[in-house]
Amino acid sequence: MEDEILYLDRPGGAALAYCYTPAKADVKGSTLVFLPGYMSDMEGGKALAVDAWAKEQGRAMLRLDYSGCGASGGDFEDQSLIDWREDVLLLIDKVTSGSITLIGSSMGGWLMLLVALSRPMRVKNLVGIAAAPDFTDWGFTQDQKMSILRDGKLEEASEYSDDPYVTTQKFWRSGDANRLLHKEIAFDGAVRLLHGQKDADVPWEYSLETAKKIRSDDVQVHLVKDGDHRLSRDQDIALLIDTLSQLG
């Protein structure tokens, strides 16, 4: 049976779509929260795989769509990185209780760091999958950045969708204002960063750089030599589930 999609109205904004499964009464462990990547949603293979595992374990799990994505309301091109951070914070505050394990895929890995900094008393663990903090800085050429600033947005072909990959000036400016890798990231919980070394979108070296900047001593980077950006093969999913199973 498919999960029922629920909605939470964001004050002054769109209705946010989410799926939430509470923990079984006798099961301990932090609530798992999956943060999708850019132009992605809560119906992706990794999110659904984690959700299925959480149900088997009786763990609480929250999946969500950012404003303008998936089943949530709003226009994608009106959103910024911080708008999406606020979406996540609202859903965590209103829907979940207790400690949180954030699982961030690609851009979701940037958001998980921003959310952890905003809710230090709630976030216990971080699991990044090809985490891409600061990608508005390193992910574009100077010409592309100038195009975004000049034309208001940049449209590129996407290998993951028939729709073009759109980066708006609003999103780019928001990302540029919320870069993290130039200073210490004040998080002290457990951090696990999974990254494929054949990732053509987010160089795996950024997981090493992220690990270096996070203040916690409990940080591990797991490199998958033949892994691509998605890390969605059966063996990649198994690695993700195994990683989660070792965290409380």
User: Which among 106, 134, 174, 207 is annotated as catalytic?
Assistant: 106
pLDDT digits (tens, 9 = 90+) for 19-65: 999 999 899 999 999 999 999 999 999 999 999 999 999 999 999 99
Task: For the beta carbon of residue 134, count every other beta carbon within 10 angstroms.
Answer: 19
Q: Which one of 40, 199, 207, 236 is the catalytic residue? A: 199
Percent of the chain, pLDDT > 70? 100
Nearest C-alpha neighbor of 225 from the set 200, 248, 196, 245: 196
Task: For the full predicted model, state whether its pTM sits above 0.85.
Answer: yes
User: What does the block give as tokens for 73?
Assistant: 């309301």
Whether 222 is catalytic: no
Name, in order, each residue with C-beta under 8 angstroms of 4's C-beta and a sequence gap of 6 or more.
Answer: 19
Determine the pLDDT at residue 1.
Answer: 60
Is the predicted pLDDT of residue 160 greater than 80, yes or no? no
Largest CA distance in the chain: 56
Asked about 106 being catalytic, the answer comes back as: yes
Q: Locate 35 and state its tokens.
A: 């943060």
* Residues 102, 33: Cα–Cα separation, whole Å: 5
One of 67, 195, 229, 236 is an active-site residue; which one?
Answer: 229
Return the closest-CA partner of residue 76 out of 48, 36, 110. Answer: 36
H/E stretch holding 64 reads strand 61-64
183: its two tokens: 């200073």
- The class of domain 6-245 in CATH terms is alpha beta
Helices H / strands E in the chain, number of each: 8, 10
The answer to whether 188 is a known catalytic residue is no
- E strand or H helix at 8: strand 6-9
What are 64-103's pLDDT values in tens digits?
999 999 999 999 999 999 999 999 999 999 999 999 999 9
Give burial (CB, 10 Å; 0-12/13-18/19+) of 119: middle
**Domain-by-domain residue ranges, the chain?**
6-245
